[in-house]
Amino acid sequence: MTNHFDALILGGGAAGLMCAIEAGKRGRRVAVLERADRLGRKILISGGGRCNFTNLHCQPENFLSANPHFAKSALARYTPADFIALVEQHKIPYREKTLGQLFCDGSARDILGMLEAECRAAAVSVFLSTKIQEVARTTEFVVCTANAEFRAPALVVATGGLSIPKIGATSFGYDLARQFGLKIRDPWPGLVPLVLESVDRSHYCDLAGVSTEAVVCCDGQQFHEKMLITHRGLSGPAILQISSYWKKPQPIGIDLAPGSNVTAIFRDPKTLRNLATLRSELRKSLPARFADRWLELHPPASWTNAALADFERQVHAWNITPAATEGYEKAEVTAGGVDTSELSPQTMESRKIPGLFFIGEVVDVTGHLGGFNFQWAWASGAAAGRAL
Q: What is the binding site for ligand FAD (CB under 6 A)?
A: 10-16, 33-36, 41-42, 45-47, 51-52, 132, 158-160, 163-164, 168, 170, 172, 332-333, 360-361, 371-374, 377
- Residue 63 phi/psi, 5° resolution? -130, 145
CA distances (Å), origin 275, targets 206, 262, 283, 284, 374: 23, 12, 12, 14, 48
Quote the CA–CA distance of 245 and 198 in Å, as a whole number.
22
Least separation in angstroms between CB 303 and ligand FAD: 48
Least separation in angstroms between CB 65 and ligand FAD: 14
Residue closer to ligand FAD, measured from CB, 212 or 244: 244
Least separation in angstroms between CB 374 and ligand FAD: 3
Tell me the residue number closest to ligand FAD, measured at CB. Answer: 13
Least separation in angstroms between CB 323 and ligand FAD: 22
- Residue 346 phi/psi, 5° resolution? -80, -40
Residue closer to ligand FAD, measured from CB, 163 or 212: 163
Residue closer to ligand FAD, measured from CB, 184 or 333: 333
Least separation in angstroms between CB 263 and ligand FAD: 39
Residue closer to ligand FAD, measured from CB, 52 or 212: 52
Least separation in angstroms between CB 48 and ligand FAD: 8
Quote the CA–CA distance of 178 and 260 in Å, as a whole number.
51
Quote the CA–CA distance of 134 and 143 in Å, as a whole number.
6
Which of 158, 150, 145 lies closest to 31 in space, CA to CA?
150
Residue closer to ligand FAD, measured from CB, 322 or 371: 371
CA distances (Å), origin 252, targets 126, 148, 151, 235, 246: 45, 51, 49, 13, 8
Quote the CA–CA distance of 382 and 46 in Å, as a whole number.
20
Ramachandran assignment for 129, one of left (phi > 0), alpha (psi -120 to 50 degrees), beta (any other): left
Task: For residue 227, give the 3-state DSSP assignment.
Answer: strand
Least separation in angstroms between CB 290 and ligand FAD: 27
Residue closer to ligand FAD, measured from CB, 134 or 296: 134
Residue closer to ligand FAD, measured from CB, 77 or 284: 77
Cβ distance 9 to 374 under 8 Å? no
